[in-house]
Amino acid sequence: MARIVAVYSMKGGVGKTTIAANLAYASAVTSSLKTLLWDIDAQGAASFLYAQERPGGKAKRLFSRDVEPSQLIEPTRWPGLDLLAADLSLRHLDQTLTEAEKPNRLRKLLQSLASSYECIILDCPPGLGEISDQLFRAVDIIVVPVPPTPLAMRSLTLVEEHLARNHARQPILLLVLSMVDRRKTMHRDLAAAHADWPVIPQASIVERMALERAPLASYAASTPAAKAFAELWLAVEASLGAEPALKAKQPDRALARIPKAAKRKTPKGH
């Protein structure tokens, strides 16, 4: 029965994809959990990092239920880690879900995957709309990267107020100081003010992930940033309570046919 972790922020460029990709690796490889990284951001950055195939343009059809998840899930180079890739067809997903008047579409899709995985990590688009409302109702934990800047703190406050006003069930928010540069006074001050939040340092080795197309721990495991992602995964595991948010329903049997691990193939473009 999968535990569901969303990496989400109202803001873009705060480290969501980087965190989601590294957490997914830690879940699959460090904790040996059968893990799915589900990219629901039309930018497809997590898919770019881990996909071995070119995106097929069908991601939106998952949400209209014209395509089963098993038809789009692919193995990655990392044992135990599968990917459900995004592509540009998701660029109007918020509007599509609103117009479809299916407030539990994301929850139902997650339910159909939940019995085939032990952990599902969602890399979410920025924004505060229908997608995030559906997420807030469906997931166990929301990891929220917050760079130590006043505007990032403000957008976190907006999300917290929205949750308090509009959601009866309050999901667990795991707040993370991301891209922390301790040479900056403001970063040091805000980090001191939130000393109990996990910290991910700003480091150029992290940016290399997009060149390596691999998790940080696979090419720079001994760096402080890689250790910070490993510690963040421990914090996520510790925050997952005993009761999953979802009960499994209609397992997607075709998932059994997905090969367990894959050899490195050269991605066909992107």
Ligand X SMILES: Nc1ncnc2c1ncn2[C@@H]1O[C@H](COP(=O)(O)OP(=O)(O)O)[C@@H](O)[C@H]1O
**In contact, 138 and 107? CB cutoff 8 Å:** yes
Choice between 206 and 246, CB closer to Mg ion: 206
206's contact among Mg ion, ligand X, none, with CB below 5 to 8 A by partner kind, is ligand X
Choice between 3 and 16, CB closer to Mg ion: 16
Least Å distance, CB 121 to Mg ion, is 13
Measure the N-to-C terminal CA separation of the chain; round to a whole number of Å: 33
Does residue 15 touch ligand X according to CB under 6 A?
yes
Q: How many CB atoms lie within 10 A of CB 208?
A: 14
Number of continuous H segments (helices) and E segments (strands) in the chain = 13, 8
- List the beta strands (DSSP E) in 42-198: 73-75, 81-84, 119-123, 141-146, 172-180
Least Å distance, CB 206 to ligand X, is 4
Interface residue with ligand X among 33, 45, 86, 232 (CB under 6 A) is: 45
Does residue 132 touch ligand X according to CB under 6 A?
no
- The residues, any chain, with a CB within 8 Å of residue 118's CB and separated by 6 or more, are 1, 2, 3, 27, 33, 34, 35
Choice between 41 and 130, CB closer to ligand X: 41
Choice between 18 and 134, CB closer to ligand X: 18
Does residue 156 touch ligand X according to CB under 6 A?
no
Interface residue with ligand X among 2, 5, 6, 14 (CB under 6 A) is: 14
Choice between 40 and 255, CB closer to Mg ion: 40
Does residue 16 touch ligand X according to CB under 6 A?
yes
**In contact, 21 and 48? CB cutoff 8 Å:** no
**In contact, 16 and 146? CB cutoff 8 Å:** no
Give the Cα separation of 270 and 267 in Å (integer). Answer: 7
String of contacts with Mg ion for each residue 4-43, x by CB under 5 A: ------------xx--------------------------
- The residues, any chain, with a CB within 8 Å of residue 59's CB and separated by 6 or more, are 40, 72, 85, 86, 87, 89, 90
Q: Which residue is nearest to Mg ion (CB)?
A: 17
Binding positions for Mg ion, rule: CB under 5 A? 16-17, 45
